[in-house]
A and B are shown apart, each in its own frame.
Chain A
Amino acid sequence: MAFDSLQAFWLMDGHGPYVWTCYGVFLAGLVGLALWSRHRRKVVIREQQRQLARDRQDQGESTPAAAATFSRIHPS
């Protein structure tokens, strides 16, 4: 350890506010990037799952509807 005590580590001879601000912003930036990027992929996958389910539902509904249009006509 380059410091004698935890307090000396925190204060850094008066440079503490500068050093700790930098480390805080740096880590926040990286964590933010990571979480945002992961979240975006999750949202895209979920959105596409919903779209697929909607497509399947549309097909499911349209099949019987199409079948019902075939009505027999008897021209005399």
Chain B
Amino acid sequence: MWQFFHKLGSPKWFYGIANRFMPWLFWLGLALLLGGLVWGLAFAPKDYLQGNSYRIIFIHVPSAFLAQSVYVMMAVAGVVTLVWRMKLADLFVKAAAPVGAVLTFLALFTGAVWGKPTWGTWWIWDARLTSMLILLFLYLGVVFLGSAISDEKSSARAVAVLVLVGVVNIPIIKYSVEWWNTLHQPATFKLTEKPSMPAEMWVPLLLSVLGLYLLFGWLACLRMQTEILIRERRTRWVKDFVSTGGH
């Protein structure tokens, strides 16, 4: 166990292990995502209330779901950074933040375009939409704070603190549709209940959520590798790795 923990802290070990997992994450994720999207776009039945505009759900829910769970992962990594000073945890936060920002933007954008034919408006300042916008600003804050502080250690700590302060926003997003009156519909998936949609709708949705999860894993590995190469550039193994072609 301790040996594993020690290894996990080693950027060199992580680089190799990531290389081994990345093709799997990429191809499996791509297949699941594309399968889910094609199924949802062309084969899932039309919604009796919203018509075909509901097909946006197959990209809106995965983006929003990932946007929130990436933030939770970053918060866990933030705790690890502060308590154990593990370099890899900080690398993860820095690698994941821009991806999270893009996912949050996509959730907001697809939500706005979905809102127009369904609610009659692109945007309202209600609890769910506003708290998602705050999530976007939190992600951008993490990206800019991380790049503004050049000292590695203080940058890691400052970013971790910011991520942890922002984590209160996550339960607000999650419960906003229950606590406040909002235009937004309640959650599609709940752990405790059967989905309220037929299987031909929720199975493709589940596929695209899983696919996007795996693709996020691939992106995170790739971006962490880049960060590792930059930070460890003076070490023997990076020099050897780079001079033998970098593959």
Chain A interface residues (CB < 8 Å from chain B): 1-3, 9, 12-16, 18-19, 21-23, 25-26, 29-30, 32-34, 37-38, 40-41, 44-45, 48-49, 51-52
Known: A9-B42, A26-B106, A33-B99. A19 touches B60 (CB 8 A): no
Grouping DSSP codes into helix (H, G, I), strand (E, B) and loop, the B interface class, with mixed when no group exceeds half, is: helix
Grouping DSSP codes into helix (H, G, I), strand (E, B) and loop, the A interface class, with mixed when no group exceeds half, is: helix
In angstroms, how far is the closest chain B Cβ from the Cβ of A26? 4
B99 touches A23 (CB 8 A): no
- In the bound assembly, the distance between CA atoms of A34 and B246 in angstroms comes to 19
B246 touches A22 (CB 8 A): no
B242 touches A48 (CB 8 A): yes
The total number of A-B Cβ pairs within 8 Å is 93
In angstroms, how far is the closest chain B Cβ from the Cβ of A69? 29
In angstroms, how far is the closest chain B Cβ from the Cβ of A44? 5
- Sort chain B's interface into a size bin: 35 or more
B242 touches A45 (CB 8 A): yes
Chain A residues, CB < 8 A from B60 = 22
A12 contact from B52, B116, B223, B230, Cβ within 8 A? B52
Given contacts A1-B42, A30-B215, A41-B223, 5 further A-B contacts (CB under 8 A): A16-B52, A18-B53, A23-B37, A25-B110, A33-B102
In angstroms, how far is the closest chain B Cβ from the Cβ of A59? 13
- In the bound assembly, the distance between CA atoms of A3 and B5 in angstroms comes to 53
Known: A13-B52, A19-B56. A29 touches B246 (CB 8 A): no
In angstroms, how far is the closest chain A Cβ from the Cβ of B67? 12
Nearest chain B residue, comparing its CB with the CB of A3: B42
CB-defined A-B contacts under 8 Å, sample of 9? A2-B43, A16-B52, A22-B110, A29-B105, A37-B219, A41-B226, A41-B229, A44-B230, A48-B238
